C-alpha cells in the first residue's frame, strides 16, 4: 500500500519470498513485471503515481522524481502529472524506457533537497524550480515560482540563501532562477497568475520597476492597496480578473475604491487577461504614456521628480 502495489525483487526476498515462489507468481500472473526486478501485484489499480514509484525503484536508491513530474505532483501552476521524469546518477546502468524521461546527474541530489509525496521520493520545491529552469521557458518558470511562493512552499529569502550554496550555483538552471528571485527580492511577489503576466509584460517592454502591493494612504487614512504602483508618478496598475462569483456589493466596492484613488490624484490603469493576450503592446503603451504624461505635468508645474529607471 505504501508503494502503490509495486515492489522490487530484493524487497520480496527480504520478506521471505523464495526465488521459486517469485517465478511461480510471475508465471501464474499473480505478479506482473514492470521493469527487470520490479513487480506489480496483479489487480492493484494502475495510476501515474504507481508508474512514478516503479521507475524510482528500478533506477535505485538515489533515483528521485524531478523536473516537470515533480512540479506536477506538487501541483505547481502550469504542470500536471504526465510522463514521469527521474534524476539518477550518470553511472547508473539501467535499461532506458520510453515511458520515463531520465536526467543524469554527476552527483546525487543532496538529501535536504528530497522529500516524499505519497511514498514517492520527489525533489523539494526549491530544487524542482532549479531543475525546471533547464527544461521550460522563462515565463513558465516564473509562473511556477510565483505560485510556489504564494502557496508558501518556499520563500524568496530562502531561495536567495539556497541559491548561494556553491553546489547549486554551478548547476545549469541557477542563473535563470537567480534572475527571477532577484527581481522578487526587490519589488515583491505577485498575488495572482494575472499579476505575474503583467510584471512579465512590463519587463519585456523595458518599463520602470513598479512597487507591488503598494498601500495608498490619505494622511493616516487607508485608501487602497494597489497591485502595481509608481508612487512618485501617482500611476497605478490594477490586474482585473473576470470572476463569475463576484456579487453586486463587491462590484460597487471596487468602483468606489477606484474613484477614491483617482480623487486624490492617482491615474489608475485597469488591465485584464484579454488585454494582455490580444494587445500586449497596447497595454505597454498605456503605462508608458501615463508615466510620460505625469512627467510632463510635473515639469510644467516646476516640481519634476526623479523617475525610477531600474530595469526589471
For position 311, what pLDDT does the model report? 42
**Domain spanning 193-300, CATH class:** alpha beta
Contact 41, 8 (CB under 8 A): no
For position 298, what pLDDT does the model report? 44
Res 300 pLDDT > 80: no
The span from the CA of 267 to the CA of 236, in Å, is: 6
Contact 290, 267 (CB under 8 A): yes
Using one digit for the tens of pLDDT, what is the confidence trace for 88-134? 987 666 666 678 899 988 888 999 999 999 999 999 999 999 999 99
Task: Tell me the HSE value of 153 on the side-chain side, using a 13 A CA sphere.
Answer: 22
- DSSP assignments along 91-112, one per residue: T------TTSEEEEESSPPPGG
Contact 198, 271 (CB under 8 A): yes
Using one digit for the tens of pLDDT, what is the confidence trace for 232-280? 999 999 988 765 445 667 667 776 777 888 888 899 999 998 999 999 9
For position 188, what pLDDT does the model report? 81
What is the CA angle 152-1-117, rounded to 5? 15
Burial class of residue 27, CB neighbours in 10 A (0-12, 13-18, 19+): exposed
The span from the CA of 213 to the CA of 102, in Å, is: 41
Using one digit for the tens of pLDDT, what is the confidence trace for 207-239? 998 988 889 888 888 888 899 999 999 999 998
Using one digit for the tens of pLDDT, what is the confidence trace for 55-85? 999 988 889 999 999 999 999 999 998 889 9
By percentage, how much of the chain surpasses pLDDT 90? Answer: 61
List the domain boundaries for the chain. Answer: 47-187, 193-300
Q: Cell numbers at residue 185, please? A: 527580492
Res 304 pLDDT > 80: no
Contact 238, 290 (CB under 8 A): no
For position 303, what pLDDT does the model report? 46
Amino acid at each position: 500500500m505504501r508503494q502503490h502495489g509495486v515492489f522490487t525483487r530484493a524487497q520480496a526476498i527480504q520478506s521471505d519470498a523464495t526465488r521459486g515462489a517469485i517465478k511461480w507468481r510471475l508465471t501464474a500472473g499473480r505478479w506482473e513485471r514492470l521493469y527487470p526486478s520490479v513487480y506489480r501485484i496483479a489487480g492493484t489499480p494502475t495510476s501515474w503515481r504507481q508508474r512514478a514509484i516503479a521507475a524510482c525503484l528500478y533506477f535505485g536508491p538515489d533515483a528521485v522524481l524531478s523536473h516537470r513530474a515533480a512540479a506536477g505532483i506538487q501541483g505547481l501552476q502550469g504542470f500536471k502529472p504526465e510522463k514521469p521524469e527521474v534524476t539518477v546518477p550518470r553511472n547508473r546502468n539501467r535499461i532506458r524506457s520510453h515511458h520515463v524521461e531520465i536526467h543524469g546527474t554527476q552527483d546525487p541530489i543532496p538529501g535536504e533537497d528530497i522529500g516524499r509525496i505519497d511514498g514517492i521520493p520527489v525533489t523539494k520545491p526549491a530544487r524542482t524550480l532549479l531543475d525546471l529552469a533547464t527544461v521550460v521557458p522563462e515565463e513558465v518558470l516564473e509562473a511556477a515560482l510565483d505560485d510556489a511562493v504564494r502557496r508558501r512552499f518556499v520563500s524568496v529569502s530562502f531561495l536567495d540563501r539556497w541559491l548561494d550554496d556553491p553546489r547549486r550555483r554551478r548547476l545549469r538552471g541557477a542563473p535563470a532562477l537567480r534572475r527571477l528571485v532577484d527581481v522578487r527580492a526587490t519589488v515583491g511577489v505577485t498575488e495572482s497568475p494575472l499579476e505575474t503576466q503583467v510584471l512579465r509584460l512590463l519587463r519585456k517592454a523595458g518599463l520602470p520597476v513598479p512597487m507591488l502591493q503598494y498601500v495608498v494612504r490619505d494622511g493616516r487614512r487607508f485608501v487602497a492597496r494597489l497591485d502595481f504602483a509608481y508612487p512618485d508618478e501617482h500611476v497605478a496598475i490594477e490586474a482585473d480578473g473576470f470572476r463569475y462569483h463576484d456579487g453586486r456589493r463587491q462590484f460597487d466596492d471596487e468602483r468606489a475604491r477606484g474613484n477614491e484613488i483617482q480623487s486624490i490624484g492617482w491615474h489608475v490603469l485597469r488591465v485584464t487577461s484579454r488585454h494582455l493576450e490580444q494587445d500586449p503592446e497596447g497595454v505597454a503603451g498605456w503605462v508608458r504614456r501615463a508615466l510620460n504624461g505625469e512627467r510632463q505635468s510635473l515639469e510644467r508645474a516646476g516640481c519634476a521628480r526623479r523617475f525610477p529607471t531600474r530595469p526589471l
